[in-house]
Amino acid sequence: MQIVKTIAEVRRLVSTVRQEGKRIGFVPTMGALHNGHVSLMKTARKQCDYVVVSIFVNPTQFGPSEDFEKYPRNLDSDAITCRKTGVDLVFAPSVKDMYPRENWTWVEVENLTKSLCGAHRPGHFRGVTTVCTKLFNIVDSDMAFFGQKDAQQAIVIRRMMADLHLPLEIVICPTVRESDGLAVSSRNQYLKPTERKDASLLYHALTICEDLARKGENRVKVLIAAMQQVLGRSVAIEPEYIQIVDLDTLEPLETIDRPALVALAARLGTTRLIDNIILDLNVSSGDV
């Protein structure tokens, strides 16, 4: 496994591999790698001949009051994780490499970025789509792998890819969870022990919603109230949003009459967590 820091070097290596006719898979990350990332890498490993992982904490997707500074960074242990998982190339650029001058060019996806996290993190998705475009242009992969845990991000990127005719296949992989259901996240390590315990209620609320829906409850108001009640069991949980939206357009639904995304965000102390499930009552619940 190689670890490179410069754009020129990653381009050179990938171009050599491409000339050998190999299929290239790409997993963009912000590091602090956990089992969710490992699952993406393993999927990439299965579907591609050469796997690139980028590790870059992207400043433009953090708001001014967000955790850019304290976001966990540990390239050494991340590199060990990548090596163990069979990654071929780790690309770990500096901010100066990715933003060599004041950034004037932005890629924005309308409509999909207004609701859910977009409503609470202004500019966040613009930062995500812009840095992903840069990374896709640099890494030049055939496929890119994203986790369903960040469902809105995955849906936004998939739309960007289609609209801009990016020659890239986006694969969305299932959320990986701890044994109590909590979605694995780099931010879970911020949680205090009591917060960590209560955090499992997030997924519990989602499963309650799914159960009710499968039993025939299709009124969104009722389903959201049931989830609010579950989260209300912990005084540590401050819900930011609990929403049920159209899976393609992310527009709010009143009735579950089509494939839906049930998504929530909450604060536990200073930590912001998100989670979601997909409700597609015509098929078993699955990936985005």
CB atoms within 10 A of CB 120: 14
- For residues 138 and 104, give the distance between their C-alpha atoms in angstroms, rounded to a whole number: 18
Residues at the interface with a second copy (CB under 8 A)? 7, 11, 98, 100-101, 103-112, 129-130, 133-134, 137-138, 140, 159-160, 162-167
Structure tokens at 29: 């990350």
Output the smallest distance, CB 273 to a second copy, in A.
Answer: 28
Output the smallest distance, CB 166 to a second copy, in A.
Answer: 5
CB atoms within 10 A of CB 223: 24
The nearer residue to a second copy, 167 or 286, going by C-beta atoms, is 167
Output the smallest distance, CB 86 to a second copy, in A.
Answer: 27
N-term to C-term CA, the chain:
31
Output the smallest distance, CB 103 to a second copy, in A.
Answer: 6
The nearer residue to a second copy, 107 or 226, going by C-beta atoms, is 107
Answer whether 154's CB lies under 8 Å from 170's CB.
Answer: yes
The nearer residue to a second copy, 1 or 164, going by C-beta atoms, is 164
Output the smallest distance, CB 163 to a second copy, in A.
Answer: 4
Output the smallest distance, CB 148 to a second copy, in A.
Answer: 21
Answer whether 127's CB lies under 8 Å from 60's CB.
Answer: yes
The nearer residue to a second copy, 169 or 240, going by C-beta atoms, is 169
Options 34, 37, 124, 165, the catalytic residue:
37
What is the DSSP code (8-state) at residue 283?
S
Answer whether 212's CB lies under 8 Å from 234's CB.
Answer: no
Q: Is 37 among the catalytic positions?
A: yes
The nearer residue to a second copy, 71 or 99, going by C-beta atoms, is 99
Kindly write down the DSSP assignment for every residue of 201-268, as one continuous string: HHHHHHHHHHHHHHTT--BHHHHHHHHHHHHTT-TTEEEEEEEEEETTT--B-SB--S-EEEEEEEEE
Q: Identify which of 112, 115, 176 has the alpha carbon closest to the alpha carbon of residue 149.
A: 176
The nearer residue to a second copy, 115 or 129, going by C-beta atoms, is 129
- For residues 259 and 255, give the distance between their C-alpha atoms in angstroms, rounded to a whole number: 11
Active site members? 37
